[in-house]
Amino acid sequence: MKLTLISVLYTTPVLRHFARRIRPPLLFRTTFFSVTIASYFWPHAKKLVRPFHGVLGEAYDAKELRVRSRRYLLFLRLFKEVEHAWSSWESHSDWLKIEGEPYLNNALAEHKGAILISCHNFGFSKLVAPALSRRGYFVLRAGGGKKDGRRVKRWGKTEINWKYLDHGGDYWHRLRSLLMLKSELEKNHVVHISPRAYDRGDDSMAVRVFDRKYYLDARWFRLFQKCGAPVLPCFAIGNSEGQIKIIIHPRLPDDATAMAQQFAAIQSDYLTKYPELGRLWKSIYLKRSQW
């Protein structure tokens, strides 16, 4: 059983009242200090960073690799724990920022809905839907294996403007999911999707990260083109100072190939600048076919 400072503070009823008074940056810095200590002495921490080192070890010198590894451990810790604290951090406005919101508003002004796309298994993308819902947007968060019934339990009863869409399953389930996606866009709502990348594909769909290449699935972008809604890249990044920033980029071209290529270039830039915010390195290290 893994007990951590944030999970104990925000899941224990007697402590939750006092935890709400603690500013998020203080908890972030405390967590960063703890993972720094763990990186020296805790065997499990060394096991966690092994895939990160295995994939990116040659991209940095020893000192930079240690710094990036600690940030990676911090991200893995906070990625799971931010849900525990989410409903208690509503009164703190300095830890979560949204940049590029005018791009989203301009897209919705066309009354076709809007599709936000993020890199799969990168950053704090799961915060996009609840964060936008708090600002009054209606958001459909699409993903494989997601169950809408878990939403209230994980994020609190205040998050009423967003829901999950599980696009996995058999043919008929996927068809129903597509109809639901189309319905949400017709209501001028926001759909948030994180397309997977694969170890094989067409070079026109390639995402370049250091000396490696991964490939996007062209079928997603053909679907986006058929939907006719504006498509905007969206990334959620964080740092050890207790700040998370959701960045919405200008809309992509309407053509599926041009859309995919421009998104691949943006995704490559984020993965290269912030590799410590990726949860994909284990899959790549284990030579899985997708991440």
* Residues 191 and 217 occupy one common structural domain: yes
Q: Which two tokens stand for residue 30?
A: 């405390």
Q: At what angle do helices 24-41 and 43-56 cross, to 10 degrees?
A: 90
**Domain span holding position 273:** 96-285
Number of domains in the chain: 2
Answer yes or no: is pLDDT of 228 > 60.
Answer: yes
**Residue 19 Cα distances to 7, 16, 79, 89, angstroms:** 11, 5, 19, 9
CB-CB contact of 230 with 114 (8 Å)? yes
Return the higher-pLDDT residue of 144 and 22. Answer: 22
pLDDT given at position 251: 97
**Final residue of a domain: which of 56, 86, 116?**
86
* Residues 164 and 242 occupy one common structural domain: yes
**Residue 73 Cα distances to 49, 51, 189, 198, angstroms:** 7, 12, 35, 24
Answer yes or no: is pLDDT of 131 > 60.
Answer: yes
* Residues 77 and 155 occupy one common structural domain: no
Return the higher-pLDDT residue of 88 and 231. Answer: 231
Answer yes or no: is pLDDT of 58 > 70.
Answer: yes
* Residues 59 and 134 occupy one common structural domain: no
pLDDT given at position 243: 85
pLDDT given at position 273: 95
Residue 68 falls within a domain, yes or no?
Answer: yes
* Residues 71 and 125 occupy one common structural domain: no
* Residues 82 and 101 occupy one common structural domain: no
**Final residue of a domain: which of 64, 86, 108?**
86
